[in-house]
Amino acid sequence: MLHLPADQGVIIGRLFSRETFSAIEEMTAAEAARLVDSGGAALIKDYWGAYVAVHQSDDVGGYSIIRAPSGFLPCYQVETHAHHIWASDLHTLSAAGIAVSKVDWERLYEHLQWPDVRRRHSCIDGVSELAPGSARTVSGHEAGDRMLWEPWIFVHPNMAIDPDQAVTRLRDTVFASVSALASDYQNIIVGVSGGLDSSIVCAALTRGGHRFSCLTMATTDASGDERRYAASVAAVAGVPLAAHQYAVDNIDLSRSSAAHLPRPVGRPFLQELDRAYAAEICKTGADAIFTGNGGDNVFCFLHSAAPVVDRFRQEKGLKPAWNTLLDMCRVTQCDIPTMARAAFKLSRTRPSLVASEPDLTLLNAACAVLAQSAPLTPYMDRGAGRFPGKLAHVRLLQRIQNFVEGQDRTTFPPMVPVLLAQPIVETCLRISSWQWCEGGINRSVARRAFGGFLPRQVVHRTSKAGPDSVTAAAFESGRPKLRELLLDGLLRQNRIIDPVAVEQALSSARTSRDQLLYRILDLADAEAWARSWSAGSSDSALGR
């Protein structure tokens, strides 16, 4: 914790210099005054990290609370008639005597209807969240929010990084950011999938001379076995690799891996990942988990004609746009006429500022939420200008927000999705959307930036396997349990699901072979999550 001079406030978490990437252990009186006088804007501009800051405001007795744009450190709020109470997790609120266990069924329905959009209000009654990159000023009983950081600042053409410098700028920024975040830890476990993003994390840790080991998960069949790729990454880094196999029999569908969070954002296979991490932490004494989660989002992994339109509008020429069209045909395996029609249609269409389309699959349509509550980050309210590729990039960043928080901190050390660090995100936003697909390969800038630090077979991979076979097996073997959970559960009692549609899906042999099984498992996780909170339900919260 960093105390500001003259008792002006505190910064909880870790803070780094924007210029040098070194950790900030103290601030001068002038630096603190600049922070306070700017209402927190100077904190966002001159520093970065995983922090929540609290400082005095101009009002007598008032204060402002600021959350870092990365969102690495959560910040939840409960309001009572007399207090504004802040905490990084709900366990801390409960330990302080704040009753936070009543499910907000309307917000839960909204979460399931728009699962890609994180909302300001959580699915626990009375618990809201301070948006990353925002400040809330509290004076008496009044409170107001301001966004101090928004992606649109960095997507403007005037902010674009010179294409000749993009590779070097990205590489330098990733190396410096990951090394800074690692400086707090002595022994890191990196979850590696054998894909590009987690491999880049390993390259950055190796370059910084940090101690770490790797962990990878494999299915019993070849479809999700990435061990040879993960082994090549560990070998180049010169670090040990622990390989664990998913065990379907260990997956308990009545337990949510997100039971410690105020939203049901878990997945059944994550139970096995948690088990593997716990085993390796016990064995190695690791004090942090680093992941490449969000790499696809940060490195602008698009499957549309949007980069073609962006390039045509920014460079004002058919030849550059034609080159990008050919690149996107290779990325998407699409033919030229189809991509050209898509680009023409997109160029004639006003960009949609809707963050996500609603998904009513298996839900009770009669209870659908018609008016959405406020998103956690209101980026779409500000518009996207003329560049649909940049709009899509921002939307990707918004959609990863539900997966930034890690495991239960009462059991696990910090989990850090390091590629979402503020300097990395800002650098990537300043790289034009068409550069990410140059050469007809996705995440092209990242591949060129780190090609000399990774195994060749990893650099040139354009797709990777996952735990799909485990998920399908868990669904198939768990049909009876899923039927009990969903047809005799809280989601049905609270009119969230359509029981007839759920019964039909559970009875169909086709379900285990299509995308519907993922929807059923998401609903089952929401049911397990709701039961875990409802077991200790209370209708009141500290004097409310």
415-417 and 47-56 strand pairing = unpaired
Q: In whole angstroms, give the CA distance from residue 128 to residue 126.
A: 6
**Partners of 135 in beta bridges:** 66, 146
What single-letter amino acid sits at 537? S
pLDDT tens-digit map of 485-514: 999 999 999 999 999 999 999 999 888 778
pLDDT tens-digit map of 65-120: 999 999 999 999 998 888 889 999 999 998 888 888 899 999 999 999 999 999 99
pLDDT tens-digit map of 517-536: 999 999 999 999 999 998 75
Q: Is residue 24 part of a domain?
A: yes
Q: Is residue 501 part of a domain?
A: yes
The reply to whether 408 and 493 lie within a common domain is no
pLDDT tens-digit map of 273-316: 999 999 999 999 999 999 999 999 999 999 999 999 999 999 88
Q: What proportion of the chain, given as a percentage, has pLDDT over 70?
A: 96
What single-letter amino acid sits at 407? Q
Confidence at 60, pLDDT banded by 50, 70, 90: low
Q: Is residue 57 part of a domain?
A: yes
Q: Is residue 502 part of a domain?
A: yes
CATH of the domain at 30: 3.60.20.10
392 to 65, 79, 148, 354, 374: CA distances (angstroms): 30, 35, 21, 11, 20
- The pLDDT assigned to 141 comes to 66
- Name the domain boundary from 83, 118, 150: 150
Q: Is residue 331 part of a domain?
A: no
The reply to whether 422 and 282 lie within a common domain is yes
What single-letter amino acid sits at 416? V
Q: In whole angstroms, give the CA distance from residue 453 to residue 456.
A: 9
The reply to whether 250 and 120 lie within a common domain is no
pLDDT beyond 70 at 254: yes
- The pLDDT assigned to 538 comes to 38
The reply to whether 245 and 163 lie within a common domain is yes
- The pLDDT assigned to 317 comes to 80
The reply to whether 226 and 256 lie within a common domain is yes
Mean pLDDT of 248-256: 95
| The token pair that represents 368 in the structure block | 């659908």
Mean pLDDT score of the chain = 92
The reply to whether 159 and 144 lie within a common domain is no
118 to 93, 386, 533: CA distances (angstroms): 21, 25, 19
- The pLDDT assigned to 463 comes to 76
The reply to whether 26 and 136 lie within a common domain is yes
- Name the domain boundary from 117, 150, 183: 150
Q: Is residue 366 part of a domain?
A: no
For 502, the domain range is: 468-534
The reply to whether 407 and 514 lie within a common domain is no
| The token pair that represents 15 in the structure block | 């803070």
The reply to whether 96 and 211 lie within a common domain is no
Q: Is residue 348 part of a domain?
A: no
Residue 471, Cα to own-chain centre: how many angstroms? 21
Angle between helices 306-315 and 388-399 (to 10 degrees): 130
The reply to whether 77 and 11 lie within a common domain is yes
- Tell me which of 6 and 435 has the higher pLDDT: 435
The H or E element containing residue 320 is helix 318-332
Q: In whole angstroms, give the CA distance from residue 452 to residue 114.
A: 40
Closest C-alpha among 496, 415, 447, 388 to residue 73 = 415
What is the count of structural domains for the chain? 3
pLDDT tens-digit map of 147-175: 999 999 999 888 999 999 999 999 999 99
- Name the domain boundary from 124, 150, 176: 150
Residue 386, Cα to own-chain centre: how many angstroms? 26
Mean pLDDT of 467-481: 93
The reply to whether 426 and 453 lie within a common domain is yes
Listing DSSP states for 469-515 in one string gives HHHHHHHHHTHHHHHHHHHTSHHHHTT-B-HHHHHHHHH-GGGGGST
- The pLDDT assigned to 384 comes to 61
Q: In whole angstroms, give the CA distance from residue 52 to residue 49.
A: 9
Q: Is residue 379 part of a domain?
A: no
pLDDT beyond 90 at 416: yes
Q: Is 238 exposed, middle or buried (0-12, 13-18, 19+ CB in 10 A)?
A: exposed
Mean pLDDT of 7-25: 96
pLDDT tens-digit map of 29-50: 999 999 999 999 999 999 999 9
The reply to whether 25 and 111 lie within a common domain is yes
Q: In whole angstroms, give the CA distance from residue 238 to residue 240.
A: 7
Strands of 188-191's sheet in order across = 241-245, 212-218, 188-191, 288-291, 415-417
Q: In whole angstroms, give the CA distance from residue 445 to residue 215.
A: 26
